[in-house]
Copies of this chain bind each other. A is one copy, B any other.
Amino acid sequence: MALPTEQTQVVLVARPAPAVTADLFAVRRAPVPRPGPGELLIQVLWLSIDPAMRGWIADAPNYRPPVPLNEVMFGFTVGRVVESNHPDYVPGELVYGTQGWQEYAVSDGSDIDHKVDPAWGSPSAALGVLGHTGLTAYLGLLDVGQPKEGETVLVTTAAGAVGSVVGQIARLKGCRTVGLAGSDEKVRLCREFYGFDAAINYRSAGDRLADLVAEACPDGVDIFFDNVSGPLAEAVFPLLNTRARVVQCGTIGIASDGSANGPRPGRTVLAKRIRWEGFLVLDHFDAFPRALADLGRWVADGRIRHREDVVEGLASAPDALCGMLAGRNLGKVVVKVARDTAKA
């Protein structure tokens, strides 16, 4: 197939104020770059849409510098190598990396994390249950949370790409699993599709949230796997047991402007010997092979189930992001950028 000379890119043109809206992004045309010595050219096939993107585009303290204005939006991708002057890659291979919101990207290999095994089925799984969201769930729950059989694990955004896998792994480890989700439909998914022991709609719960959580966790909460923080986490902290672990994996419930909210645990951390730990999967590359071996097996034999919401076309990525931040998805949101011509 002849390479096109031009491609579509989606660039960030404004910062959240504080809402994330589609007009923070613009679509532009740009030349398809050519790989130099030691480089390769990747055609992006799939983009991942993630809650963390809100943090990546805001001009607030974070674990990485914000995406610069007028540059291609940063994001996890699966692509196919189309040309290579790099000794480690040959055309036709699938790679998982951070090529971002564009159709073609040149890489020196440093923004590629690993090759995607075609045996995993749809390569888009590499952006979810067999990618950073599944890895976040696995490593955050098992390495940081260290669940023991019989403990109670409470998960926020429980129907989401991370939370749903946390709940399923916790169940495999013999824990009671309780999910918080933002709609009755998601609550049903948690119970019926992902197998949580209990699930609660935190939006309709209102002032009764703490009571409902206490009812669903009659023995208290041993592990709080939290993707939200903010007032939701404030309601949960008083229910933590002695020696509870809080895995802080996201803070989507905290305003982008960074204004202080979320738990202010005062004496609780000491009196209950809580361990409250921030977790970022990008710190744990070394553990990926071990985690993917387990996850791959569990997905293959059906012990871990997952769902995808597929959105078509790169230009739809901004709307897909806004929809996910508003909670309109029911599975991991991925954008299909191109048909995989190598397989067509």
Binding site for B on A (CB under 8 A): 55, 60-63, 229, 242-243, 248-251, 254, 258-280, 283
Contacts and interface: CB of A to CB of B under 8 A. Distances in A.
Nearest to A244: B278
Contact of A264 (B63, B260, B278): B260
Contacts of A229: 266-267, 270
Contact of A274 (B243, B260, B266, B278): B278
A262 B272 contact: no
A269 B274 CA distance: 14
A4 B258 CA distance: 66
Copies in the complex: 2
Interface centre among A55, A61, A276 (most CB of B within 10 A): A276
A268 B258 CA distance: 9
Contact of A273 (B60, B251, B283): B283
A270 B258 contact: no
A265 B230 CA distance: 11
Contacts of A63: 242, 270-273
A137 to B, nearest CB: 15
Nearest to A64: B271
5 contacts: A61-B268, A63-B242, A229-B266, A262-B264, A272-B278
Contacts of A271: 55, 61-63, 278
Given A229-B266, A254-B267, A274-B277, 16 more contacts: A61-B271, A62-B267, A63-B272, A229-B267, A243-B283, A248-B270, A254-B266, A262-B265, A262-B266, A268-B278, A269-B277, A270-B280, A273-B280, A275-B276, A275-B278, A277-B277
Contacts of A264: 260-264
Contacts of A262: 264-266
Nearest to A249: B270
A248 B63 CA distance: 24
B272 A248 contact: no
Contacts of A280: 270, 273
A27 B283 CA distance: 58
A173 B206 CA distance: 50
A264 B251 CA distance: 13
A271 B269 CA distance: 19
